[in-house]
Amino acid sequence: MAVAIGASAGGPKALQTLLAEFPTEVPVPVLVVQHILPRFVEALVRRLQEASPLPIRVAAAGEVVRAGLVYVAPGDRHLTVRRGLRGSQLILHLSDAPPRHGVRPAADLLFGSLAETCEAGAIVVVLTGMGKDGLEGVRAVKAKGGVAVAEAEESCVVYGMPRALAEAALADVVVPLPEMPRALGAILRERAAALAAS
C-alpha cells in the first residue's frame, strides 16, 4: 500500500498542511510530485520536514521504498516506482523522459506506475494546481481498484487539477485540505483491513 500526492500552484503550502497532520497509525510510503523549479526542491523538502514528524527526503534512483517515509520527486525528473526482486518491494526510478502536460516531474507518470505495481493498494491525492496533470494516472489507479482523493475547491489556491478529477467523476473523496488527514486516515485503515482479510 502506498500514497502518492500530486500538486502544482499552491502545492508547497498545501503539502505542509497535509504532511504536518498526516495519519501515521497505518505506516505507508508517501510519494510526492510537486511542480516546482529544480533549484527550489531542497528548500521545499526542508520546509516540509520542519512541519512534519515524518522523515522527508528527495527521491533517489534505486532506493527501496519504505513505509513511514516521504519521497519528493527531484527537480526536472519524473519519479516512478517499479517492482523489486521481491514482489512486495517497490524501487524508486527517475527518468528524463519528455515532460507530460508541459511539466517534469508529472503526477500522471507516478500515479500510472503505482497502478501497475501497487494495484488496489494505491491511494492517490490531487491537491491544488492548474492544468490536468494526474487525471490519466488517477484513471489508471481507479481501473486497478485504487482510491482517489481530491482537494475541494474551497481550499484550493488554483482549482484546476482537482477540478479535472471532479469533472471526470474519478474522485472517491473530495475534501477541504484541513479535513484531508482525517479522511486519509479512514481510507488507510479501511484498506489495511481489507488487505489483511484477503
Query: Which is the catalytic residue, given 78, 113, 133, 155?
Result: 133
How far is it, in rounded angstroms, from Cα 82 to Cα 90?
Answer: 6
Name beta bridge partners: 57.
71
Name beta bridge partners: 58.
72
Burial 122-146 (b: 16+ CB within 10 A, else e): bbbbbbbbbbbbbbbbbbbbbeeeb
Range list of β-strands (E), 43-183 = 56-58, 70-72, 78-83, 90-95, 122-126, 147-151, 173-175
133 is an active site residue = yes
Q: Cell 500552484, residue?
A: 9
172 is an active site residue = no
Query: Which is the catalytic residue, given 35, 78, 93, 101?
Result: 35
Query: Which is the catalytic residue, given 8, 52, 113, 155?
Result: 8
Range list of β-strands (E), 109-194 = 122-126, 147-151, 173-175
Residues recognised as catalytic? 8, 35, 133
